[in-house]
Amino acid sequence: MTYAEKNIIETYSNLIDNLSSIGKMELLEKLTKSLKKEKKAKEVDFFNSFGAFSDEKSAEDIVLEIKESRKFRDKDLNF
């Protein structure tokens, strides 16, 4: 944990001390939900990264297009 994070936590802790018990419980509930959301978002992003390339063309058309776009040059190499 960085110094900045420690400072932020200390500042929020001082603010939280002044909340009622109900306010503290609501805050705890929201923090818990945000942690669950963050975990789910990371999992979704991870699994969405597979098969990310999408196109209307078939695989054969894409391969043909790549092969046709290749350009070779004939150059004599003198050794």
Segment 42-73, tens digit of pLDDT? 777 777 777 656 678 888 998 999 999 988 87
Instruction: Give the pLDDT mean for 27-41.
Output: 83
Contact present, 19 and 27 (Cβ < 8 Å) = yes
- The whole-angstrom separation of Cα 79 and Cα 53 is 44
Query: What DSSP character marks residue 1?
Result: -
At 76, the amino acid letter reads D
Q: Which pLDDT band, with edges at 50, 70 and 90, does 79 fall under?
A: confident
- The whole-angstrom separation of Cα 29 and Cα 55 is 42
Residue of higher predicted confidence among 19 and 39: 19
For the cut 70, the answer to whether the pLDDT of residue 14 exceeds it is yes
Residue in the structure block whose two tokens are 């929020």: 12
Residue-wise over 24-38: b if at least 16 C-beta within 10 A, else e? eeeeeeeeeeeeeee
Among 14-18, 29-33, 48-52, the minimum mean pLDDT is found in: 48-52
